[in-house]
Every structure is written in C-alpha cells, then in structure tokens.
Structure 1
Amino acid sequence: MSNLALVTGATSGIGLAFAERLAADNHDLIIVGRNQDRLDEFVAAHPKVKVRAVAADLSTPEGIDTVAAYCADEPLEILINNAGVAHYMPLADLPADKAREVVNVKVLAPTLLTRAAVGGMQQRGKGTIISIAGMIAFSGPAGPAVMPRRAVYAGSLAHLVAISQTLSAELEGTGVTAHVVCPGIVATAFHSSQGLDVSAVPRMSADDVVTATLRGLELGEVVIAPGVEDRGLLDTVFEADLAAFGGQSPELATRYRSN
C-alpha cells in the first residue's frame, strides 16, 4: 500500500509543519508551493524520504490542473489541502482579482484536487483527505463590531466545512475519510503577509495544529478544532444545523404570510 502524501502550501506555516511531520513518519511526499527555492530547500533537507517538488500557483486554472493530475495519477494515501490566501477587506473594496484568488485557492482548488484524488482512494480502499479551514468559518452570525471585514474569506472557509462534512457521509464504508481543520490564529507569516499585525494576540503553533489534526483523525472527528476545549460547542452547532434543515416544510412559514 502506498505511503504517499500530497501537501499544498507546503513551504511555510501549517503546510510546512505537516510536510515535516509526515517526512519524520517516513511518508513519501509531493509538496506543492509557489516558491521553487523553498521547495528545493525542503527536498535537500529530507534525503531519507522521496520528495517530489511541484511548483504551482493554485490561484490559476493551470496550477490547479497541474496538481489535480498528480492527485488523479498518483496512489495518494493522504491529501492535505492547505494552500491559503486571506485578503481581509470589505467585499465592496476587494478587487476582483483578489476575490478570484481567494475563491480559487480556498474553494476551487480543494474541490478539484479532492475530486481528482477521491476516486483512486476509493478503488484502493484507503485514503485521508484533510482540508485546512479556520474558526472564521463559524463567524458568519457575528455583528458589525467584529473586525476585520472578511466576507469572501469567511465564506470560503465555510465551504470547506460543509463540503468536508457532506463528503464524509458520502464516503462512509469506503475506507476513505474526509476531515476539515479549523484552527484559530496560528503563529505563521499568514497574517503579516496581509498587512495585519497580530503580534500581541496569543497564537497557536503550526506544530500544535498538526498534532491536533493527527489526534482528531484517531478520534474520528470530521471537524477538528484544535483550540476549542469544549467539543460540545461544535456538537451544538451541528445539531442546530440539522434541526433547521429538518424543520423545513413545503408550507409557507407563518411569519412570511400576509396579515
């Protein structure tokens, strides 16, 4: 059975921490990133495992197609959809190219890479798909006082939660599992690259995110929230989601009827 993992956004932050941990556990790797020099540095630093470096920009159709081909053609045991971009700003101020970049990297790329990988995983009867989202996925109901404005980013992370939960149900009994990881603020260069100063904010380490993810897999969690102590909070959210979904009717709700 293959011992191969593909990690996107593997040259820094959470992706690098995953790649380091998987290499230490003797997984062969396909690492994806935009910076060829950093990719080459990782390969050189890990001579004991087979590492293939793929330079690709997942904000572009060409980059997505390149990596999707690896997902479809290689016997992946693990796929980690980690690549990310933020662009925190109000929707009206968000340039179209930046909005497209967020959606391509955090919605389109994970969707198409997962689609490319999952068929082969099902045929082999084994596989793990992990997408990295964030607790901002649950921030939709927050009022106007909550900053920074980030409608597109929050929506893209919410997509990863919903698709992972639904895919998990689709894959029941196949030997393939789907998971989404929702950390809070993590000590990486992610926020500073967007011009945000979070140096005074307590942050989790990328290594702790990886540790939580691996433990969450053992626990069978579909939604893994490394910083949420009370798991019941998440269960309450999901139970309310299902209650609302199950509470629908073909009849018009009373509050929408004319007086």
Structure 2
Amino acid sequence: MAAVRRERSVALVTGASSGIGASYAARLAQDGYDLVLVARRRDRLEELAGRLRTQGSTAEVLPADLTDPGDLTKVETRASRGDIEFLVNNAGFAGYRPFAELDSKIAEDLIRLHVLAVTRLTRAALPGMLRRHSGAIVNVASLLSLSGSLPANPLPYRATYAGAKAFILTFTQALAGELPASGVRLQDTLNVDRSRMAAMAMQPDEVVTASVAALEQGELICVPGLEDPGLIEQLTGAQRAVMQAANRPQLAVRYQAPSRSGKSSS
C-alpha cells in the first residue's frame, strides 16, 4: 500500500535520525518520495540519506535542533518553499520528571519542540499543499496525551510532556476541521514511548505501517495497537457531548450560591 500519490514528491521528516522518523523516511522513499531529513546529528542523517539514495530517492540532509530558534527558522524556511507534500512532525523527547523538580530549560525545550516547532512547520508547509489541493501532515504524539486523568504510578511523571502532546492532538483535530475539502490529509499518531515503556511499545516500522494505513482509511487519530476504533469515536463523542451540554448561559445548579435557607438560589 503506497502512502499517497505515485509521482515523485517531497517529504520532510523531523526526528529522522532514528526510530519512527527513520522508519517513516524509509517508507516514504520506498513509496517514491524525495526526502528532507531533519534531526540534530548530521552523521546519522548522512548514513540514512545514503541508504535512501540507493532506492532512487534524493535525500537532503538538514541538521537542526528544533529547540534552537535559529535552527527552527532554517527548517521553517525550507518547509515554506512550497514543494513539501508530506510532512512528518516526529521530533521529540520526554523529560520525565516530577513537575516541581523539572528544570525550567527542559520544560521550555519540551514546549519549543512539541508545540512551537510543530505549529511553525505545519504553518510553513501548508500553503503549498493547499495550492496543490494535495498533501499529508502526520503529527506524532503519544498515548500519554490522553493520560491527564491517570495517576503518576505506574506511568511516568509527565505533566509538561503529556500537556505538550495533548496540544498536538487538539491542534491536529482542530486544523482538520478547518480543512475538510482541501485535499490535505491530517493525522495524529498516538504511540507508546519506547524510552520508558519498551515492553509495551511497538516497533517503529509497525507504527509507520499503521500510520500509512490509517491515512488511506481516512482516520484522523491513529492508535496503532487499538483493535476497536469505536473507542476513539466514544472519546471524541464524549468531548462533543460536554461541549453541547455546557454551551448555555445558565450556571450549573451545583455552582449556584446557596440561599439563606440553605437551598440553591434560582
């Protein structure tokens, strides 16, 4: 199953030096894309680029630390050239620590990488896709984006990381709602973090296989290990129900100030 169109197009993959990013780059090369490879380590990117070139793809190496403002601007400039038809926002790190102990620089870098970089690169690549009425944006998030109500144990301390990944999930859903007939496909991939939950994590190639299949099937939220997609519909349905039920000008009874008699005021 091919990821998208058969003619050669250009894909930009962040976090491309290993894991899901490297696997996605290899899959896109197999499907006929030229690649722009973004990650911090040039040596790993050059090694991957060499392998992809043997498959007939052009592989452009663009070393960058997306938490660095200058490097992000460099990649943003490349993404805004207008030729990117497939964008994979995959770069990330976890920084698991109790929030009260989390170094402020780590917290800032988490937000720069998962929120600012995803937003700016998507904004840079999108106009070209809209002009062509064709394109795909895959934002790799985490199952932990759904974990806000769960206890810290046995899950890792994750307030900033999970919050940033939850931004990616909501951002992708809301943007898809803005582009229903644009020809641009969006997807949020919710995978398990291999760095802390390796026993439960899927192999990167399998995550990519699921993501590509989900794009073909029109799934906005891809959870590679989830057998019952109806659970996602239940989740989004519950969100819609809360929005609809709460969209009224009256204060909920439980929040109304009690009268002097002890009864709720009208």
Asked whether the two chains share a fold, i.e. TM above 0.5, the reply is yes
| 3-state SS in 1 of match to 2:200 | coil
Aligned to 1:218: 216
* Counterpart amino acid of residue 219 in structure 2: E
Indicate which of 107, 121, 125 corresponds to 1:99.
Answer: 107
Indicate which of 13, 16, 19 corresponds to 1:7.
Answer: 13
| 3-state SS in 2 of match to 1:17 | helix
Aligned pairs, how many?
249
Aligned to 1:252: 251
Question: Residue 185 of structure 1: CA displacement?
Answer: 3.9
Structure 2 gap segments, 5+ residues each: 1-6, 259-266
After superposing the two structures, state which structure 1 stretch, 38-47 or 213-222, moved more: 38-47
Question: Residue 100 of structure 1: CA displacement?
Answer: 0.7
* Counterpart amino acid of residue 6 in structure 1: L
2:193·2:201 contact (CA, 8 Å) conserved in 1? yes
Question: Residue 145 of structure 1: CA displacement?
Answer: 3.6
Question: Residue 134 of structure 1: CA displacement?
Answer: 1.0
1:71·1:116 contact (CA, 8 Å) conserved in 2? yes
1:184·1:227 contact (CA, 8 Å) conserved in 2? no
Written as runs of structure 1 = structure 2, the 5 A alignment for 1:30-109 is 30-47=36-53, 48-109=56-117
| 3-state SS in 2 of match to 1:129 | strand
2:191·2:223 contact (CA, 8 Å) conserved in 1? yes
| 3-state SS in 2 of match to 1:164 | helix
What percentage of aligned pairs have identical amino acids?
37
* Counterpart amino acid of residue 79 in structure 1: L
2:191·2:201 contact (CA, 8 Å) conserved in 1? no
- Select the structure of larger CA radius of gyration: 2
Measure the CA separation in 2 of the matches of 1:91 and 1:18: 32
**TM-score, normalised on structure 2?**
0.90
Measure the CA separation in 2 of the matches of 1:107 and 1:2: 30
1:85·1:101 contact (CA, 8 Å) conserved in 2? no
Aligned to 2:261: none
Measure the CA separation in 1 of the matches of 2:241 and 2:8: 41
2:138·2:186 contact (CA, 8 Å) conserved in 1? yes
